[in-house]
Amino acid sequence: MTRQKLLTLPLVFLLVYAIKPYYGGEISLKLNEPTSFILNTANYSNLIFYSLIYENFFYLQKDGAISTHIFDDYRYETGSKTLNLTVKDNLSFSNGKPLTAKSIQSSLKKFLGSDLFAASKLNRIIKNIRLDGNQILIELLIDNPDILALMTAPELVVSAESEQSFSGPFYPENWEKNRHLILKANPFYAGGRTYLDAVKIVFTDDSVPDVFLSTPKSLKENFQEFDSGIFQNIYLCFLQSEVGQNTKIALYTLLKKFNEVSGFKYKELNTLTRDEESPVSIQIKTISPQKTTSILKSSDVKLYILASLSYLEKDLTAFLEDSNLKIETLFIDDSQMMNFLNSTEIKYILIDKIFQTKIPAEEKISRILKESSFNQFNVKYLRMLGELEEVKYSNSQELLMEQIARISETIINDGFIFPLFQKNYSLYIRNVWQAVEVDYYGRPLFQKASKTND
């Protein structure tokens, strides 16, 4: 018996050694520079960045499978209409402080208190959230076995009270503004220590990074291309009823011209969602450069822009200066927008939204109504949102398309939102990096990423 153990041990050792992953290394990503560490998933670049430092409650894979790193058990009980979540033992945030059921409860309540469409869907069905030891019990108003799918929203993350404590696979270590941000592997990460030591997020074009976003079919040599399934829309919104139609058209024309002369070359957007799925095409007539200049020179235009579009700042500023127009641009953090609306008279604002291609058009429209109607438009547009929900469950595609067309036309005729541009994305990853997965929301998952031997 003793001899048999001595003979088999070297074989077991060799087997373990052979499959042991390589730990270490740094992967570089090219992303837009964030404004802060406060969660903001307004654009695709942000969606990726914040997924590195914040952990989601649940992950939705492209095949529809749902997984989690923070719960030992999760089950929905139809009889009691309750979702039971059991938190793993001995979890910690990146600074070593305990990550408990109380942390999960407060994170969920914070999410539900946001103005996000994904939060409103959960708010409509959640009755109560209570704790029982290491369990979170989410009681629903109505039976909904799809509750877990709703909780895979990328904005639903585990957050700590301290702004310098993070739940994701990495945590920020060094931020050199306008150049790069170094993220170190979180030793307490609930999903286990990542194979990587660090992620370097670069904001310059000094070198070609290992991972970057670009237009589809760019055919980059030595890179794998992943279809993100994501597109980004940019809209011009008018938040005051006294803004004249001529001023609206002039500003819209100017921004269309900016797209033509800048290097961004966004696709022209003629719907609220995607031209390929919309039952109506929106045609907003532009005016001549001379008339545009004449109108805007006599208008006091302060154009507010969400910080998620801050990568436009340099080119847009130069373009406006060349146009000899005194248009002031002010960038505001997405998370602070509602505070600005309550304290500042905002007439013009540029916003952006990202959408999954596969999500139905009616859900995209609902999200635009919920997240972009702001305080001034709540009554009218929330009523339209309710009507859209009713038609959605009528099982009539014809009625649904008619309602989408009616909402789109109303929003444009009211002069509330003018769709401007659209950009589609592919994710490019250098061939030497293996085991990088892309989830349902188009985010690369680096937990198992490692570099092959050259």
CATH of the domain at 408: 3.10.105.10
Specify the pLDDT at position 295. Answer: 93
Residue 223 corresponds to which tokens in the numbers above? 């890179």
How deeply is 210 buried, as exposed, middle or buried, from its count of CB atoms within 10 A (0-12, 13-18, 19+)?
buried
**Same domain flag for 148 and 251:** no
The answer to whether 243 and 376 are in contact (CB under 8 A) is no
Specify the pLDDT at position 158. Answer: 98
Supply the pTM of this predicted model.
0.88
Domain count for the chain, please give it.
2
**Same domain flag for 238 and 153:** no
Residue 124 covered by a domain: yes
Confidence band (pLDDT; 50, 70, 90) for 21? low
Residue 430 covered by a domain: no
Residue 139 covered by a domain: yes
Q: What is the DSSP-derived secondary structure letter of residue 334?
A: G
Report the range out of 168-172, 227-231, 240-244 with the highest average pLDDT.
Answer: 168-172
Residue 367 covered by a domain: yes
Stronger pLDDT, 62 or 70, i.e. the higher one = 70
**Same domain flag for 263 and 133:** no
Please report where in the chains the tokens 């909402």 appear, as a residue: 407
**Same domain flag for 391 and 256:** yes
Residue 223 covered by a domain: no
pLDDT (tens digit per residue) in 286-314: 999 999 999 998 888 999 999 889 889 99
Residue 442 covered by a domain: no
**Same domain flag for 120 and 252:** no
DSSP string computed for 284-303? -----HHHHHHHHHTS--EE
Find the CATH number of the domain harbouring 146: 3.90.76.10
Other CB atoms within a 10 A radius of the CB of residue 172 amount to 17
Other CB atoms within a 10 A radius of the CB of residue 91 amount to 21
What range does the domain containing 320 cover?
231-424
Provide the mean pLDDT of the chain: 88
The answer to whether 388 and 407 are in contact (CB under 8 A) is yes
Report the range out of 55-64, 149-158, 411-420, 431-440 with the highest average pLDDT.
Answer: 149-158
**Same domain flag for 135 and 249:** no
**Which three-class secondary structure state does DSSP give residue 194?**
coil
